Amino acid sequence: MKKVVKDAYKEWQAHCVEMQADTPAIMNETPAEKSARIKRLEANPEEWFVYYFPKYCTSEPADFHKRATKRLIKNDEWYEVRAWSRELAKSARAMMEFIYLAMTKRVKNVLLVSNSNDNASRLLLPFKSCFEANKRLIADYGVQATYGKWEAAEFTTQIGCSFRALGWGQSPRGTRRDNVRPDGIIIDDIDTDEECRNEDIMKAKINWIEQALIGTRSISNPIRILVNGNIIHENCAVKKLSEKADKFDIVNIRDENGKSTWASKNREEDIDRVLSLISYESAQKEYFNNPMDGGETFKDLKDGKIPRLDSCQVCIYADPATSNKDVSSGSHKAVGIVAKKDFDFFIVKVFLDTMSNAKFVECLFECYNYCKAKNVENVRVFIENNSLQNPFYEQVLLPMIYTRANETKVFLPVAGDDRDKKDKYTRIEGTLEPINRLGHLIFNEAEKDDPNMKRLKAQFKNFTRKQKRMDGPDAVEGAVFKLRETEAVGVAGMFESFKNVNSKRF
């Protein structure tokens, strides 16, 4: 027996043993009680999941789980792409949903598709072991294993629903069972890093999904199509398939406020621990649907010693990331200190992360106090305030800043940067690339191990037009713009004074 077959057999056995142990059936019900219980459970899928799958339902589901299940079960004709982070139970929930649909006779022919046949068969194993060994399911719906076609990659239950595993590129022809074409397709873990980097392979994969796979459906009968995965690359299938979906559901490990999206399972300290063990780029790819595959604009970043701040022009610039567009992409808030001396711009300190409004205001004051402790007399503080952000700036941020000022007795000389900002990529590239290329953009070497500074450098190094997260570079651009603006005003004032003096002479 080949090793891969041995491993699959052992995994299947383990699934069966665990399933039998975890699902003891109720033995003392009358037929009427049993029928009423089954009817009640089928009317509430979440309760159905908890009863038949206690092994998988160890934490209270999040609201996004419940909403997703309602959409899939309610709509007989439905196409959904779920770009859910790792540790959010994509595959487990899909399994429970489609077994529920099978047992309630809502689907009859299901295809499970992955990046290879071996992986698809592995993902189908829990389905098969459930039908064979789930005592509660067997007690309520009868024995499901059948003689004949009962294999790891393809089987048909006694209740009349068939399941088949396919790797992409395999022919799905012949998947009709009797007169029933596929009415359920699960596409799970379809992308690989290597394939995403190959345009020809990705084009062939999408064509296969749209033509060969979805082409197996019946036009006159409805189908449910569910795609599970992460956005691991700008060219990945998950992202491309989302363009045709009825629903594209993006859920990260943390929400836009920096809180766990599934708090009953993933505690904040546990998320912190996991993220601390991997690079910022890896975390963004696996847990935040934000692939960072490297940019060409800021390839070399310069670390250096910061001069005395009281000998520099200093600006504190903050990006609250509050527009509707920014929130939907889970943007970071950014607060940074940038200093200018001669031709050099120094990134002194930065706070860059998902954070609450209270934390954002706290970072503003911390930066200001940092500058005052360095004997900087004139510190200018700006908060990005475009047309979308203005109500938030005036109605939320300013009152919070005034309240904090009264509590701390520290006056924060804050002003809104309400300039009409054009395309973010073009603006950042045009302003910062030349000074970085010439060695005049310098990152504080004393802060190189700070997580915020690491995040900022990662955003610079992975800066591309398609990159979602460029809030750090955006804040740096704002500070550089304001420092240059101040310098230009100063030069213009000097020129005006010189002109007035000379006009009096003549």
Measure the CA–CA gap between 132 and 123, rounded to whole angstroms: 16
| CA 319 to each of CA 185, 241, 243, 316, 363: distance values in angstroms, whole numbers, following the listed order | 43, 32, 30, 10, 12
Asked if pLDDT for residue 502 goes beyond 60, the answer is no
Q: Is 446 exposed, middle or buried (0-12, 13-18, 19+ CB in 10 A)?
A: middle
Average pLDDT over residues 87-107: 97
Asked if pLDDT for residue 352 goes beyond 60, the answer is yes
- Contact between 121 and 255 (Cβ < 8 Å): no
Domains and CATH numbers, the chain: 3-276 (3.40.50.300), 302-492 (3.30.420.320)
Average pLDDT over residues 429-438: 92
* More confident position, 357 or 241: 241
Given this model, what pLDDT does residue 425 score? 84
Given this model, what pLDDT does residue 501 score? 40
Give residue-wise pLDDT tens across range 183-212: 999 999 999 989 998 989 999 999 999 999
Average pLDDT over residues 21-40: 86
Which of 456, 85, 118 is closest to 291 using CA atoms?
Answer: 85
Give residue-wise pLDDT tens across range 289-342: 988 777 778 888 999 999 999 999 999 999 987 643 333 344 579 999 999 999
45-52 helix and 90-103 helix, angle to the nearest 10 degrees: 100
Measure the CA–CA gap between 259 and 106, rounded to whole angstroms: 36
Q: Across the chain, what does the average pLDDT equal? A: 87
Predicted confidence band of residue 24 (pLDDT cuts 50, 70, 90)? confident
Given this model, what pLDDT does residue 307 score? 95
Asked if pLDDT for residue 390 goes beyond 90, the answer is no
Minimum mean pLDDT range among 149-153, 227-231, 452-456, 501-505: 501-505
Asked if pLDDT for residue 31 goes beyond 50, the answer is yes
Both tokens assigned to 427: 């603006």
Both tokens assigned to 51: 């009863």
Which of 241, 287, 261, 232 is closest to 81 using CA atoms?
Answer: 241
Average pLDDT over residues 378-384: 92
Asked if pLDDT for residue 440 goes beyond 80, the answer is yes
Average pLDDT over residues 228-250: 94
pTM score, whole prediction: 0.73
Asked if pLDDT for residue 19 goes beyond 70, the answer is no
